[in-house]
Amino acid sequence: MSECLFCKIAAGEIPSSKVYEDEICYAFHDIDPQAPAHFLVIPKAHIGSVAEVNGDNAGVVGHIFTVIAKVCQELGLESYRVVSNIGEQAGQSVFHLHFHVLSGRDMTWPPG
Ligand code: 5GP
Ligand code: ZN
Which residue has its alpha carbon closest to ligand 1 atom 17? 31
pLDDT in tens, 32-71: 999 999 999 999 999 999 999 999 999 999 999 999 999 9
Residue 27 CB neighbour total at 10 angstroms: 22
Closest listed ligand to the CA of 85 = 1
Q: Is 38 designated active site? A: no
| pLDDT value for 23 | 98
| pLDDT value for 12 | 97
pLDDT in tens, 86-102: 999 999 999 999 999 99
**Which ligand 1 atom is the nearest neighbour of the CA of 83?**
4
Angle among Cα 33, 102, 108 to the nearest 5 degrees reads: 105
DSSP 11: T
| pLDDT value for 6 | 98
DSSP 52: G
| pLDDT value for 112 | 87
